[in-house]
Chains A and B, each alone.
Chain A
Amino acid sequence: MKNEVENIQIGKKKFEYKELVTKLGPLLALIVLVIFVTFLNPSFISATNLLNLLRQVSTNALIAFGMTFVIITGGIDLSVGSTLALSSALTAGMIVSGLDPVLAMIVGVGIGFVLGAVNGLLITKGKMAPFIATLATMTIFRGLTLVLTDGKPITGIGDSFIFKFMGRGYLFGIPFPVVLTLVCFAVLFMLLHKMTFGRKTFAIGGNEKAAYIAGIKSDRIKVMIYAISGMMASISGIIITSRLNSAQPTAGTSYEMDAIASVVLGGTSLSGGRGRIVGTLIGALIIGTLNNGLNLLGVSSFYQQVVKGIVIIIAVLIDRKK
């Protein structure tokens, strides 16, 4: 039998052009972009700017990682920006009212998880289309944030070392948000590509009916996935709150767009069933490089939006060609 198994696997090493494009395409695009921007403005490649860039990328990347799971199941989560704002406001509020900052942050992440789970329940038990369900909760969560904060930023969070460290700290010279992003990436990478949870996620996206009949509790998995998405948004929120030393009621507005764009640029299919979290990381870096690079080149922020949109269209068109 040993031989048999080996025989069957010979075909595996077959060179697949299509697969190579999928895997290396986004990375290639990133490299070209970096070279291009460096050529136009060499200060892009300086260590200070690169660390700065990575820190900017981290808040979007964290959200995009969660979004990757959602999109692989064929869903979408529009509520991440509002979830970020609501969980940040609650976390800041708890710290201001005297709760231990570490505990407050843990509760804050828990709130993100619960808000995400609400999305998941609306989608599975309520049988709502993910777009509609998260569109509704997007406005609900934003509205609740405004009610809670009375439309004003929450300040006076104090100077807990751990809390400041989340957004402003450095570990071996690397901004802590970047370290945190890499840790989250490693954990979620294992979850998506090496564990049964990820296998089930893909199965749901590939053919939900067949997955259900194969005994996958698709509702439970989907609730978990939206909860993870909410949780990642709240982690991103903590970094932002720490950096600004205040919780803004409008924080995270339209962050869902950058997150979705990162996922799509990374080669994950919006129709579900196909995708890689490594791609999302690269996608987030592409978005970040564009933002940072266009700033360095002095392109107006109005034009930046146009350029970002065009890049997304080109990426999807190339993806379609496969």
Chain B
Amino acid sequence: MEVRMTGITKSFGSNSVLRGVDFDIRPGEVHALMGENGAGKSTLMNILTGLHKADDGRVFINGEERIFSNPKEAEEHGLSFIHQEMNTWSDMTVLENLFIGKEIKNSLGWIKTKEMKALAKETFNELGIHLDLNRDVGTLSVGQQQMIEIAKSLMTNAEVIIMDEPTAALTEREIDVLFKIIAKLKSRNVSIIYISHRMEEIFKISDRITVMRDGVSVDTKNTSETHNDEIVRMMVGRDLEDYYPKKDAKIGEVVFEAKQLGQEKVFKDISFQVKSGEIVGFSGLMGAGRTEVMRSIFGIDALDEGELYLEGEKIQIKAPSDAIRQGIGFLTEDRKVEGLILDYSIRDNISLPSIDGFKKHFLIDTKAEEDFTGMLVKRLNIKSMSQEDPTSSLSGGNQQKVVLAKWVGIGSKVLILDEPTRGVDVGAKREIYQLMNELAERGVAIIMVSSDLPEILGVSDRVIVIHEGKLAGELPKAEATEEKIMTLATGGY
């Protein structure tokens, strides 16, 4: 199938995400789509598959203009999208998942299991997948679930399959299997749009690369005619040294120490220290347990074992309120679910962890609260009309700054940031890095969990790698490279 998108424009509220993007797909090619978080890749793909409606621009399928009004319609016409968060039903079997909503039925509505099994087996064989059709999907690994999704799209006769960061949670071996499947799909003349941050993979499997930045497509290159550095430059728009601001905070005494932290079946023997003025990056694959460690330090989930020390003193944390009282702040991975009350104003959100500090004769001193918020809004450069604007009206970057302002506001000594720049545009990203540096200069000890390797390398003074719930290794800035981190993260030595 040949797809051509021209001049695609899209904004969400005042946030313009796509500004006249051109993109095309040829039959049987692997087309890598690259760009930083927030560059507009997912939005572009969501427009192609009918989840969002473009404000402007045209889409041609095999030369004919065509706009899909929903993902189901796109699927019927041979375009399928395998999202990062997969659409599987964990309590249903592999077979049920493969045919969900598309069961083969006789005229009375009875489901014809035998025929479904035969078709599923045929597809699996073709792709070289070996999976028990009767197993519950919840018992399968992420990689195996992904294979189900691929098989599913193939069974709907997909001619274009979009894969969003398909290898983010896979092991080396699973990645190899995936690549073999992609090769087979190619030979059947299926096109793949491959969204990924991993340079190495892109060069291994793609035919062409399109780089997006700030809502425009920078350029499309034949993979054989370009190289790593050129792509990075296109993605970042400047050299990497400028992208991550220089940090010159003085690293001082140990502020926070975790000793032998453990949570049954999730992580074990996690010990580390963070010094004042230091940014420690936590790297690892998705599901390695990084987030879980941080959540239990902050008291959201319980620790089964281990001790926490703040400035040399042992501390007990049973709930987030204890952590906050000790001066620990935590920016969670998902700001919309856990970081913000989206319907509430910037002020209500920023002052929430500090609200008890505004009590004056039993009442809230609203003047003090406004001044406090005003100061933080200015310091973090949060762009809005008013403190009263609901946070749902802000762009991703500004929302993230509101969450940060909450924790700056309590005067955090230790700041835990879980994926601080996820879904944030490039400009705001840099501002967040700058703010982290500025806080470090004031002696805050910062822990940053990130799945973005360039970010880990660009921002951290020290990198700690977690693999399957255990410390896999620690690398000082000077020694850390993408290869070394990936080796540790996947269990290699």
Residue numbers of A with Cβ under 8 A of B are: 1, 4-5, 8-12, 14, 190, 194-196, 199-200, 202-203, 206-207, 209-217, 273-274
User: How near does chain B come to A248, taking the closest CB pair, in angstroms?
Assistant: 38
Smallest distance from the beta carbon of B7 to chain A beta carbons, Å? Answer: 33
Least CB distance, A191 to chain B, in whole angstroms: 9
Please give the distance in Å from B221's CB to the nearest CB on chain A.
Answer: 43
Find residues 235-293 in chain B having any chain A CB closer than 8 Å to their own CB: none
Partner of A215, one of B320, B371, B384: B320
Shortest Cβ distance from residue B334 to the other chain A in the assembled complex, whole angstroms: 9
Contact B374 A4 (CB under 8 A): yes
| A-B residue pairs in contact (CB < 8 Å), sample of 28 | A1-B371, A1-B374, A1-B378, A5-B370, A5-B371, A8-B384, A8-B386, A9-B386, A9-B387, A11-B385, A11-B389, A195-B363, A196-B356, A196-B364, A199-B355, A202-B344, A203-B348, A207-B337, A207-B340, A207-B342, A210-B339, A210-B340, A212-B320, A213-B298, A215-B320, A215-B324, A215-B353, A273-B343
Contact (Cβ within 8 A) B389 A215 = no
| Cβ–Cβ < 8 Å partners of A202 in chain B | 344, 348
> 18 other contacts beyond A12-B386, A203-B352, A210-B337, with CB at 8 A cut-off?
A1-B378, A4-B378, A8-B387, A11-B384, A11-B386, A194-B363, A195-B359, A196-B364, A199-B364, A203-B348, A206-B344, A210-B338, A212-B319, A212-B320, A214-B324, A214-B352, A215-B320, A217-B319
Q: Are B338 and A195 in contact (CB under 8 A)?
A: no
Q: How far is the CA of A84 from the CA of B385 in the complex (A)?
A: 48
A1 neighbours in B (Cβ, 8 Å): 371, 374-375, 378
Return the contact of A210 from the options B298, B341, B370, B389 (Cβ within 8 A): B341
Interface centre among B341, B371, B387 (most CB of A within 10 A): B341
A249 smallest CB distance to B (angstroms): 39
B388 CB–A CB distance under 8 Å: yes
Contacts of B378 in A (CB 8 A): 1, 4
Tell me the residues in window 327-375 of chain B with beta carbons closer than 8 Å to chain A beta carbons: 330, 332, 337-344, 348, 352-353, 355-356, 358-359, 362-364, 370-371, 374-375
Q: Does B489 belong to the interface (CB within 8 Å)?
A: no
Of chain A, the residue at the smallest CB distance from B322 is A215
Q: Which 4 A-B pairs have the closest CB atoms?
A: A11-B386, A11-B385, A206-B341, A5-B374
Q: In the complex the two chains form, is B338's CB within 8 Å of A209's CB?
A: yes
A4 to B377, CA, bound (A): 10
The yes or no answer to B321 lying at the interface (CB within 8 A) is yes
Quick check: A211 and B352 within 8 Å, CB to CB? yes
Within the complex, the shortest CB–CB distance from B393 to chain A, in Å, comes to 11
Please measure, in the bound complex, the distance between the C-alpha atom of A1 and the C-alpha atom of B373, giving whole angstroms: 11
B1 to chain A, nearest CB (A): 42
Say if the beta carbon of B422 comes within 8 Å of chain A. no
Are A200 and B355 touching (Cβ within 8 A)?
A: yes
B contact residues around A214 at 8 Å (CB)? 320, 324, 352-353, 406
Asked if B364 and A194 sit within 8 Å, CB to CB, the answer is: yes
Known: A4-B374, A190-B363, A199-B364. A209 touches B337 (CB 8 A): yes
B218 at the interface (CB under 8 A from A): no
B356 neighbours in A (Cβ, 8 Å): 196
Q: List chain B residues, Cβ under 8 A from A212.
A: 300, 319-320
Instruction: Please measure, in the bound complex, the distance between the C-alpha atom of A124 and the C-alpha atom of B241, giving whole angstroms.
Output: 51
Q: Which residues of A contact B353 (CB under 8 A)?
A: 214-215
A290 to B258, CA, bound (A): 64
Tell me the minimal C-beta distance from A193 to chain B in angstroms.
9
Residue contact B343 to A206, C-beta cutoff 8 Å: yes
* Complex alpha-carbon distance, A1 and B348, angstroms: 20
- How many angstroms from the CA of A41 to the CA of B377 in the assembled complex? 57
Which residues in B have their C-beta under 8 angstroms from that of A190?
363
Q: B343 — which chain A residues lie within 8 A by C-beta?
A: 206, 273-274
Contacts of A216 in B (CB 8 A): 321, 352
What residues of A have a CB within 8 angstroms of the CB of B386 in the complex? 8-12, 14
Look across to chain A and name the residue whose beta carbon is closest to the beta carbon of B407.
A214
- Expressed in whole angstroms, the Cα–Cα distance for A14 and B386 within the complex equals 10
Contacts of A199 in B (CB 8 A): 348, 352, 355, 364
Asked if B341 and A211 make an inter-chain contact with CB atoms under 8 angstroms apart, the answer reads yes
